[in-house]
Amino acid sequence: MKFRIILAFVGVLFLASCSSSRRVTTKTNKGNKIVISESKSKKIPSVNQVKHVKKLERGNKTLNKHTLQYIRKYAPLAVLEMHEYKIPASITLAQGILESGNGRSQLASKSNNHFGIKCHKGWTGGRVYHDDDEKGECFRKYKFVETSYKDHSKFLSGRKRYEKLFKLRMSDYKGWANGLKKAGYATDRKYPKKLINIIQTYKLYEFDKFTKKDLKKGKRASKKEKEKPVVVKKKDSSKLYKVKKGDTLYSISVKFKISVSHLKKLNGLTSNSLSIGQELQVN
């Protein structure tokens, strides 16, 4: 009897160790506590994102370079999450681009939080504080960007208020964009319009068509897609402005005598949201 108990215990430990090596993160609820463990992810197969970005660049030279860089870097991760959680890759990517300012916001660059997910009750992971709807709000902090993507998927799929979204077709990104706003993901009334604009401008809907079979083929494609990374010039520290309380894009543009659209383009911004302490290039 004792031997059987020991054997069963060893088996459980073996299965647990195998599981942790396959997943970027695992999240469990213990009572009202949200526990998250992080481990470095394996290389993700290509989804022809390099080819996609090149095609966009040929068609429109004015597209935001930071957004294109974001797509090249995280499109495979969005597709991978799509097949596990049934959230359109276009929606995940567009939210990541919008919420993180192309991965360049203070919350994204310092805390790897690409979706603006707040701590909420029971969160036991890392945390950081930023002014948002209220002053000094608590946001989740991650060790890896992959964990942020995984937590975003679990955040949507694990809450009843987003339940209706999962009944939509995978190609219905407009329904998802509007549904997220109705379910309370964002307070910005223009949130759906912004997501849809990003998806259509950068043709992110193409990634929603990527099947599991294509994902397996992507392992071979990734070897052929090697090219020099997009070079983004570093900001000149003498031309940086640190956002203060009460600042808006308009007030900053007036102060430095540049247009709001040019200010947004310089900094790869897709919305008018700013956070205190955020550094902006102003000329």
Do residues 165 and 271 share a domain? no
Q: Which domain holds residue 262?
A: 236-283
* Domain presence at residue 144: yes
Q: For residues 6 and 2, what is the distance between their CA atoms, to the nearest angstrom?
A: 6
Do residues 85 and 224 share a domain? yes
Do residues 27 and 61 share a domain? yes
Mind listing the pLDDT tens digit for each residue in 7-50? 444 444 433 333 333 344 434 444 555 656 666 667 788 999 99
**Per-residue pLDDT at 238 exceeds 50:** no
pTM: 0.68
pLDDT at res. 43: 78
* Domain presence at residue 9: no
Question: Which secondary-structure segment (H or E) carries 126?
Answer: strand 126-130
Report, as an integer, the average pLDDT of 139-158: 94
Average pLDDT score over the chain: 81
* Domain presence at residue 93: yes
pLDDT at res. 40: 65
Provide the CATH number for the domain around residue 100. Answer: 1.10.530.10
Provide the CATH number for the domain around residue 282. Answer: 3.10.350.10
Give the pair of three-digit tokens for residue 111. Answer: 């805390």
Mind listing the pLDDT tens digit for each residue in 95-114? 999 999 999 999 999 999 99
Do residues 260 and 121 share a domain? no
Q: What confidence tier does 250 reach under pLDDT thresholds 50, 70, 90?
A: confident
252: closest CA among 281, 225, 230, 227? 281
Degrees, nearest 5: CA angle 116-62-49: 60
pLDDT at res. 232: 47
Q: DSSP code of 3?
A: H
Q: For residues 98 and 234, what is the distance between their CA atoms, to the nearest angstrom?
A: 21
